[in-house]
Structure 1
Amino acid sequence: MSKAPLISKLISLAEAADRVPDGCRLALGGFAVYQKPMAFVRALIRQGRRDLTIVGSAHSYDVDMLAGAGCLAKVETSYVGLEKHGLARNYRRAVEAGRLKVVDYPEMAAWDRFRANQDGFDFWPAKFLGGNDVVTYNDEIKEFPCPMTGRRLHALPAANADVVVVHAIAADEQGNVVIPARRLLPQSEDVLMARSCDQVIVTAEKIVPRSFIKRHARFVELPSYRINAVVEVPWGSHPTPTLGRYLADDAHLDTYVAASATDSDFARYLDRWVHEPADHFAYLDQLGAAQLSRLNDLGSLA
């Protein structure tokens, strides 16, 4: 009996971004300022996406850039900030001006919402929110008595993302995604998010042959049947880092932060770094090989 032919899920970055329609509930992988799918974010902005809801745990340049570009209607998360670089000023201005609605969840609660989807539940129970003002201002969290003890619990609604996008160090054309064994919080959250949704897009630093996947099968925690599309995007999380590949580009992040001081300054940043480059590779050309080479942090998958 002949084997079924392998189906390639490899598409372009523009085609991948086109799978996120206006009004989509979108989950972006990575954590805080680490391994964010920034090339995908820039592709969404180039396509003029509007009225998105971002659902996640901890965000930084991804949400701030989308807010500054006018792409967002709502954010459900625990944090949006730039850590050592300070406040996410585009996001802050949009919220203060009433252009962007924010629904707050504690960090672990934000994770648990994806656990609910992963396990097929409509909600996830929490027992740590008693006396917390989050439940005062977030009417999506519902109180209920534990059927076993009668103790007061809170139901966290499932994340219910329409599309999940994560950035990985490597994948093959069929969508088998390599996750390093020595990993940090961003990669663990990527695995959880990708297992919580039926529409998953992966941008990868490198598309590797199937022979590589066979040799390193122990690193494939996101198998092909979980993935809908894969895109080869070297430096795809720039200016945030990708574990085992490159460091954060602090020089570019300083440029970003300075530009986010005002709406007009940030519009000029978007023109230079998002709209003027025709695509991601033009963006990399604009950064320059010398700058990128200084960020190399080649590590091991082991």
Structure 2
Amino acid sequence: MGRTSKLCSLSDAVSAIADGDRIAFGGFAVYQRPIAFVHELIRQKRRDLTIVGVVNANETDLLVGAGCVRRIETSYVGLENYGLARNFRRAAEAGEIEVVDYPELIAWDRFRASQENLPFWPCTFLGGSDVARLNPDIVPFTCPVTGKQLWAVPPARPDVVVVHAIMGDEYGNVAFPARRLLPQSVDVTHTRSCDRVIVTVERIVSTEEIKKHPELTEIPSFRTTHIVEVPYGAHPTAVLGIYQADDKHFRAYAEAGSTQEIFDSYLAEYVYGTKDHHEYLERIGLRRLIALRNVELPS
């Protein structure tokens, strides 16, 4: 049987997302987020999404500010050293979105439960916590071995996972650097928790190039449903060994969230005012993008 190319445009990949989907985004906090994909979600006006994650940041805040989100299940939404995720905070305080809190470790374990096709993940440390008291989806039970109380935490159950990586081939084989950090490890767990996996990559390479280092292929082709070449697809977040975070743009983004009116102007300039990711990059500027390049490539 011949192999099937899964290479497509960003617009076509986003078209696979339906209103109301449960979606998990790769990366961690303000690192290696599939921002170009998020921008296209906003352009295509997806609505009533549920974001399920571990530690979320601007990818979620963007979608909340654009009115795309109904519910968020995670441990944190913020911009770390850039401050608050103000769109998220404003919508949560106004009751415009539903927010379900999980501790960071348990938020990750929920994806492990989905990976193993388990109906729940057992937790030992929620005693006396309002996280368990206020969340009806967390069910206390008695351990049949020790007799101690445990808590059954529901799996993440994403309908689709979207990650951004360094490189992959047209069939959806995606390579990760041997030297990696937490965002890349989260991505691996995420992509094993779901049958629909969309990957944006900095560069499409030949299958022969992928075969040179088979041990680096953490996402095999059978797991990938769509793959898209999107240079600087994580901007303004960083991609390990490729480019740094755009500190100037991040600070401007954080400030834009101070009011909905100012944030609407940000969307008008960088999302709605650009027909696609290529125009977005032109808006950022070639000199700025080159200045972000990291010459220390991962081994």
TM-score, with structure 2 as normaliser: 0.99
1:294 aligns with 2:291: yes
Where does residue 144 of structure 2 map in the other structure?
147
Identity %: 55
For residue 83 of structure 1, the aligned residue among 80, 85, 95 is: 80
Structure 2 CA distance for aligned equivalents of residues 283 and 219 of structure 1: 31
Structure 2 CA distance for aligned equivalents of residues 99 and 131 of structure 1: 28
Structure 1 CA distance for aligned equivalents of residues 136 and 243 of structure 2: 41
Shift of 1:6: 2.2
Letter in 2 for 1:245: I
For residue 263 of structure 1, the aligned residue among 228, 246, 260 is: 260
1:194 aligns with 2:215: no
Q: Which runs of 5+ in 1 are unaligned?
A: none
1:225 aligns with 2:222: yes
What is the alpha-carbon root mean square deviation over aligned residues? 0.8
Structure 2 CA distance for aligned equivalents of residues 169 and 271 of structure 1: 29
Where does residue 178 of structure 2 map in the other structure?
181
Where does residue 24 of structure 1 map in the other structure?
21
Structure 2 CA distance for aligned equivalents of residues 162 and 275 of structure 1: 26
Where does residue 163 of structure 1 map in the other structure?
160
1:41 aligns with 2:14: no
Shift of 1:252: 0.5
Shift of 1:299: 3.2
SS class of match (1:58): coil
Shift of 1:300: 3.1
Where does residue 69 of structure 2 map in the other structure?
72
Structure 2 CA distance for aligned equivalents of residues 298 and 191 of structure 1: 25
Letter in 1 for 2:91: A
Structure 2 CA distance for aligned equivalents of residues 31 and 252 of structure 1: 18
Equivalent residues of 2:240, 2:298 under 8 A apart = no
Structure 2 CA distance for aligned equivalents of residues 150 and 297 of structure 1: 53
Structure 1 CA distance for aligned equivalents of residues 144 and 295 of structure 2: 51
Shift of 1:221: 1.0
For residue 52 of structure 1, the aligned residue among 46, 49, 54 is: 49
Letter in 1 for 2:234: S
1:14 aligns with 2:11: yes
Say how many residue pairs are matched: 299
1:248 aligns with 2:245: yes
Where does residue 120 of structure 1 map in the other structure?
117
Structure 1 CA distance for aligned equivalents of residues 3 and 70 of structure 2: 39
Structure 2 CA distance for aligned equivalents of residues 206 and 103 of structure 1: 36
1:132 aligns with 2:129: yes
Shift of 1:122: 1.2
Letter in 1 for 2:6: K
Where does residue 274 of structure 1 map in the other structure?
271
Structure 1 CA distance for aligned equivalents of residues 296 and 16 of structure 2: 32
Structure 1 CA distance for aligned equivalents of residues 121 and 256 of structure 2: 40
Shift of 1:129: 1.1
Shift of 1:140: 1.1
1:237 aligns with 2:255: no
SS class of match (1:234): coil
Shift of 1:269: 0.3
Letter in 2 for 1:223: P
Shift of 1:139: 1.5
Structure 1 CA distance for aligned equivalents of residues 146 and 199 of structure 2: 42
Structure 2 CA distance for aligned equivalents of residues 298 and 176 of structure 1: 25
